[in-house]
Structure 1
Amino acid sequence: MKQINKVSIALKPNVYSTFRNLNNTVSNTLGEYVDNAVQSFLNHKTELFDLESNYKLCIEISVDWENRTILISDNAAGIDAVNYQRAFEPAHIPLDDTGLNEFGMGMKTASVWLANKWCVYTKALGEDVERFTEFDLQKVTTEEKEELVVIEKNAPANEHYTRIILSQLSTNAPKPGQMEKIRRHLSSIYRQFLRTGNVEIIVNGQSLEAPDYGILYAPFYKTPDGENILWRKEIDFEMGEYKAKGFIAILDKIQNGANGLVLMRRGRVIVGGGDERYFPTVIFGQSGSFRYRRLFGEIELEGFEVSFNKNGFREEEDLYLFMDALKDELKADNLNILGQTDNYRQRGKDQYTKISKAIKKDLEKKAKPKQLSRQVSEVEAKISNQQYLQKNEDVIINAKPLDSYSESFQYNGKNYILTMDLVTETETDSLYSVITTDTEENLFLDTKSISCKINLAHPFFTRFEHFKKGQDYAPIVAIFKALTLAEIMAPDKGTKFASNLRILFNQNILQ
C-alpha cells in the first residue's frame, strides 16, 4: 500500500468557476471593492493627509451596459509590494485581519462573480512602479493557470490609486433597474464613513449620502404638558464577550425604510443595510405596531463573528439573547424609549375628532342637490367617446416633461423603472397618465419602464388654494405613485382592464 505523507491543499483553477454560484447580492459584491479601498485609506491615513492636507478618499463605480464593463476606481494608497501577492491569492488572509478585508477573498470572488474577465492597475503610495495584471476565467480554467503575469512600469512615487476593470459581465452583474437600490444599499452600508466627510462614493455619476432621520422631540406621554425630550437613547452595553455601542431612538414621523436596527462591525453595516433592517421581536414587538414602525437605531457590535460575505452574524442565537438583555436598557426610568413608543401619539383622539368635524362641515357646505348624479352621467357620456379618450391620452403621452424622477423596483421577479414625469399640458383632461415602454434595450436588460405623467396644468391644481400657492405637492404625488403601482400590480391579482379605473378617475376629478 502506498504511504501518504502529504496532501495538496492548493486551490485548483477550476474552483474559480464555483465562485459564480455563491449566494450573494450585487450590493454586497460591489461592497467588497469599497471595503478594500476604505481599509487602504484607514491603513495609510497619515501618509495620505501628509501628502495632501485636504485629501478625500474617492471611490467611483461605473457600469457601462453597452460595452458590458464595470470600472471601480479609488485614490486610496494602492496595493504595495508587501501585499500584492496576497491580494491575488485566494483565501490568503491579510497580515492584519482586524480590518474590513479580513477574509482575503473580496476582490477575487467579487470579480469572478460579476465578470469573465477583469484586470487591475494599481500604484502604491511611496513606490515608483505601477503594476498591471489581468484575469481571464476561461483561460485560467481551461489552461489550468496557477499564475498571473504582472507588468510593471515606472510611475511617480507620490501617485496612488487602484483601477479595476471588469468586462464580459456575467448574469450576476447589475441591471439598470437595480442601480437606485444599489445606491441606497451602499449609502446605508458605509454611512459611518460617509458621515466623516473624508470618504466619497460615486455610483454612475451620483454621490452617495448617508441616511439621516429626524428624532422625536416631545414630552413624555404620561406628562403631555411637560418639557420636550429628545427621544434618543445612547447605548453602551456589555454581556460577557459581547459589546454594543450606538443609539436607539424614536422617529419623529413614521417613514417607510427608516425603522429597524442597523448592526455594524468595524464601522461597516453588516445587518440592516438598505431594505433589510433588523427587527428583533423582543425589542420591536409585532410587525405593524407603533413600536415596530417608529423605533430605529444604529449599533456597533464587538465580539460577534461575521459571515463570509459580511451580510450576517454567525452567532444568531447569541445575538437574539443579547437583544433580549438590551431590551431592559430601553425601559429605564430615566428614558423609557419602549413606553414612549407604545403610548405616544402625535395627535390625540380629541384632535382627530376636531379634524373629522371640520371635514364633514366643509363637505356639507360644498354639496349641491343632484350634483353627483349629473357628474356620473357626464363622465359616462365622455368615456363612451373613444376618439375623445384617445386624443386625451395622446396629448399627455407626448407631453415633454419639465422634470423627472426615477426609482427602480422589482415585482414578481421582474425589474421595473418607475419615472414620475411632471408636465404642463392644457389640451388634455387627464390629470395623470401611466405609460409602459418596451424598447429593445429594455427587453435585452429584462427591464420594464413605467412612466407616470402628472399634469400640473390640470384644473385640479388651480381649484385648491394649497396648490395655487405652490405648497407641498408631495402627498398628491405619493397618491399618483400608489395608483400607478396599483395599475401595474392589479392584472396579477386577476383585475382586467385596470387602466379603466384611471380613465374614470381622470374624468371624475375634472367635474
Structure 2
Amino acid sequence: MTFNIEIGLNAIASYRRMNYEIWYALAEFVDNSTQSYANNKDALDAAFEREGEKLEVRITYERQGNDPVLRIVDNAMGMDYAELEHALKIANPPAINTGRCRYGMGMKTSSCWIGNRWSIATKKLGDTREYTVEVDVKRIEGGDPTLDTKTIDGLSPDEHYTRIEIREHNREFKGRTIGKIKDFLKSMYRVDFRNNTLDLWYNDELLSWEEFETKLRRNRAGEPYKREFMFDIGGKIAHGWAGVLDKGARADTGFSILHADRVVKGWPDAWRPERIFGQNRNDLLNQRLLGEIHLEDFEVTHTKDNIQWYGDEEELFEKQLAQEISDLINIARTPWKDQEDGRRPSEGEIDLAISGLRDELMSPEMVDKISIEVLPPEEAIRESLARIAEPVKAGRAADIQATVGDLKVWVYVVSTDIGPYDPYVVCEAGSDGKIIVIINMQHPHVSQISGEQGIMNYFRHCVYDAVAEWQAQKLRSKLDSNTIKMLKDSLLRVSLLIEQHATTTTEENVAE
C-alpha cells in the first residue's frame, strides 16, 4: 500500500512566519530577474541593443494611506503562460536550477512573507500576450486554490517585462530599515554592478557598489596587501581574495561570501569566522582584514542568506582559510608607522579637541548651566525619571541583557517614546542586583558622536557609570566620587584585556 505526500493549502500562509530579513526577501525578486537575463542573454542583449537599455529592476515602495504597495518591475525575458504556471507551483524547481534560482520557492515565500495579496503581470519577449495572476493568501489558506488569470492580447512582440505588486503587508518599511535595505542590496549585487549588467533602483535611487581596492594598505613598492586564494574542501572549490585596510574601520571588515556571483552573507553584516577574528573583538585585525569568498560548489540555505554547511565543512573551511591568509592576518595585526592603532586619535585631533572643549567650558551657555542655584527635590527627580523608565521597560525588550557574576545589567537603547529634552541616560539600581540603563538616542549630544567606535564608547560610559556607582554603593554605605572613578577606571580597561587575551588565542588557532 502506498500514498502520496501532500502539502496542505494552509502551508502557504505559514510563509509569513518565516525567519526572513526584508532585504533577503527583496533579493529573491532580483534573483529571478537576473537569472532570467542569464538564461536568455543572447536574445535580451539583442533587444537591449535595439532599445538602448540594459537589464533594469525597479523596487518601489509607495504609501497609499492604509494600503501601501510594494512594486518590483523588470525588463527581463518575461514569462509565457506555461512558464508562469510553473513558477507558481510550490517548491517546483526551475528548469535551470544551477544559478541564483534553485528551489522554486523564492518568489512565493517572499511575496507571502511581505503581504497577503499579491499579483504578477508578465509579458514575454516575442509573445503578444500579457498574463496577470492575483494571489489571495487568506483565500488559499481557507481552501480555495484557484488562481484566475487575465489575458491581454495583441501586444507588441518586442515588449518584455514582469511586474509584481504586493499589498496588505505583514510588516512596514520605514526608518533605518530602508537604509539597511539599500546597503544590503548594493552589496549583494556588486558583481552585476562590476560587470555593468544591471541597473537596480530602490524608489528613485540607482544603487551602486563602492569597491575597497583604493582603501587597501600598500607596501613600499606600492602594491596593495591583497592576495587571491583557491583551495578545496572535500572536492568543493573555494576561491576569492583577502586584503588589509589602510585605515581601520570595523564596519567594513570581515568576509563577504558569494554564491552564483551574489552575496549570501556579507557587508554590512560580514562573515567573521571565530578561528580568525575571535569573538566580538575590536582589535587591529578586526578593523583591517576583509575579503570576498566564492563558494559555488557549496549549497545555500533555502532563504539564500548563508551557506548550508554539512558535517565538519565549516570547521575545515575556517582552518584552511586561516592557513591560506596567515601572512595577511599577521600584517593586519601589526601596527605601522603613523597609524599604530586606528582607534587612537592623532596629535592634531587631540589639539582640536582641547581647543573645542576649552571654548565650550568658557562659553556663556556653560556659565548659565553652572549658575543654577535651585535643584528639584530628590523625590521629584526620582519620580520624573521613573515616568521615563516605566514605559520603556514595559513596552520593549532590553537591547542588552548581561549577567556579570551576581549582577544583571539590562541596557535599553531608545530612539522613540523619549525626547531631546529628557535626560541623556536614566539608571536604576535595585536591591535585587539588577541595573537598568536607558540611553536616550534623541539627546542632542548623540548628534555629535561620529562612527561605530564613537557610539560604542558613549554606550560604555553610560553603562559603566551605572555599574561603578552600584559597586561603590555595595562596597561603601556612603558614595564617594573618587571610589566611583577608581571602579570605573577598572571597567574601562576590560576591552584592552579582552584584546590582549584574544590575540594570544588567535595566534594559537592559526598555528594549529
Q: Report the TM-score, using the length of structure 1 for normalisation.
A: 0.69
Distance 1:12 1:362 in 2: 65
Q: CA 1:234/1:12 → structure 2, altered by over 3 Å: closer, same or farther?
A: same
- Secondary structure of the residue that 1:263 maps to in structure 2? strand
- Secondary structure of the residue that 1:135 maps to in structure 2? strand
Distance 1:375 1:166 in 2: 58
**One of 281, 301, 321 as aligned partner of 2:274:** 281
Aligned: 1:345 with 2:339: no
- Aligned-residue offset at 1:339: 2.3
- Secondary structure of the residue that 2:94 maps to in structure 1? coil
Q: CA 1:359/1:210 → structure 2, altered by over 3 Å: closer, same or farther?
A: closer
List aligned pairs for 1:16-165, cutoff 5 A.
16-53=12-49, 54-65=52-63, 66=65, 67-142=67-142, 144-154=143-153, 155-165=155-165
- Aligned-residue offset at 1:308: 1.0
- Structure 1: which amino acid aligns with 2:56? C
- Structure 2: which amino acid aligns with 1:338? I
Residues 30-75 of structure 1, C-alpha deviation per residue, up to 9 Å, x if partnerless? 1111111110111111111112224311111111233321111111
- Secondary structure of the residue that 2:131 maps to in structure 1? strand
Q: CA 1:46/1:378 → structure 2, altered by over 3 Å: closer, same or farther?
A: closer
Residues 399-439 of structure 1, C-alpha deviation per residue, up to 9 Å, x if partnerless? xxxxxxxxxxx99498959xxxxxxxxxxxxxxx9589xxx
Distance 1:354 1:21 in 2: 46
- Secondary structure of the residue that 1:48 maps to in structure 2? helix
**One of 232, 243, 251 as aligned partner of 2:226:** 232
Contact 2:250-2:286 within 8 A present in 1 as well: no
Q: Which residue of structure 2 aligns with residue 6 of structure 1?
A: 3
- Secondary structure of the residue that 1:302 maps to in structure 2? coil
Q: CA 1:152/1:486 → structure 2, altered by over 3 Å: closer, same or farther?
A: same
- Structure 2: which amino acid aligns with 1:277? A
Q: Which residue of structure 2 aligns with residue 187 of structure 1?
A: 186
Q: How many residues align?
A: 404
- Structure 2: which amino acid aligns with 1:138? K
Q: CA 1:89/1:353 → structure 2, altered by over 3 Å: closer, same or farther?
A: closer
Q: CA 1:130/1:237 → structure 2, altered by over 3 Å: closer, same or farther?
A: same
Contact 1:125-1:160 within 8 A present in 2 as well: yes
Q: Which residue of structure 1 aligns with residue 482 of structure 2?
A: none
- Aligned-residue offset at 1:106: 0.9
Q: Report the TM-score, using the length of structure 2 for normalisation.
A: 0.69
Distance 1:374 1:131 in 2: 70
Residues 361-404 of structure 1, C-alpha deviation per residue, up to 9 Å, x if partnerless? 997xx99xxx9999489834456589xxxxxxxxxxxxxxxxxx
Q: CA 1:165/1:449 → structure 2, altered by over 3 Å: closer, same or farther?
A: farther
- Aligned-residue offset at 1:280: 1.2
Q: CA 1:159/1:280 → structure 2, altered by over 3 Å: closer, same or farther?
A: same
- Secondary structure of the residue that 2:252 maps to in structure 1? coil
- Secondary structure of the residue that 1:133 maps to in structure 2? strand
Q: CA 1:49/1:202 → structure 2, altered by over 3 Å: closer, same or farther?
A: same
Contact 2:245-2:290 within 8 A present in 1 as well: yes
Contact 1:55-1:198 within 8 A present in 2 as well: no
Aligned: 1:314 with 2:312: no
Q: CA 1:123/1:362 → structure 2, altered by over 3 Å: closer, same or farther?
A: closer
Where structure 1 has 5 or more consecutive residues not aligned to the other structure, the ranges are 220-225, 387-409, 418-432, 437-447, 456-475, 496-511
- Secondary structure of the residue that 1:122 maps to in structure 2? strand
Contact 1:178-1:415 within 8 A present in 2 as well: no
Distance 1:283 1:314 in 2: 20
- Aligned-residue offset at 1:310: 0.8
Distance 2:292 2:282 in 1: 21
Aligned: 1:254 with 2:270: no
**One of 11, 30, 42 as aligned partner of 1:15:** 11
Distance 2:349 2:69 in 1: 59
- Structure 1: which amino acid aligns with 2:450? A
Distance 1:184 1:477 in 2: 21
Q: CA 1:435/1:82 → structure 2, altered by over 3 Å: closer, same or farther?
A: farther
Q: Which residue of structure 2 aligns with residue 465 of structure 1?
A: none
Distance 1:354 1:47 in 2: 56
Distance 1:491 1:279 in 2: 26
Distance 2:334 2:456 in 1: 35
- Structure 2: which amino acid aligns with 1:122? T
Contact 2:238-2:293 within 8 A present in 1 as well: yes
- Structure 2: which amino acid aligns with 1:59? V
Q: CA 1:492/1:125 → structure 2, altered by over 3 Å: closer, same or farther?
A: farther
List aligned pairs for 1:348-387, cutoff 5 A.
375=362, 379-381=366-368, 384=371
- Aligned-residue offset at 1:242: 1.5
Q: CA 1:229/1:372 → structure 2, altered by over 3 Å: closer, same or farther?
A: closer
- Secondary structure of the residue that 2:107 maps to in structure 1? helix
- Aligned-residue offset at 1:137: 1.5
List aligned pairs for 1:103-502, cutoff 5 A.
103-142=103-142, 144-154=143-153, 155-171=155-171, 173-213=172-212, 214-219=214-219, 226-272=220-266, 274-285=267-278, 287-315=281-309, 317-331=312-326, 336-347=327-338, 375=362, 379-381=366-368, 384=371, 412=399, 478=450
Relative to structure 2, which stretch is displaced further, 80-89 or 155-164?
A: 80-89
Distance 2:441 2:344 in 1: 43
- Secondary structure of the residue that 2:251 maps to in structure 1? coil
Where structure 2 has 5 or more consecutive residues not aligned to the other structure, the ranges are 374-396, 400-411, 423-439, 468-512
Contact 1:452-1:480 within 8 A present in 2 as well: no
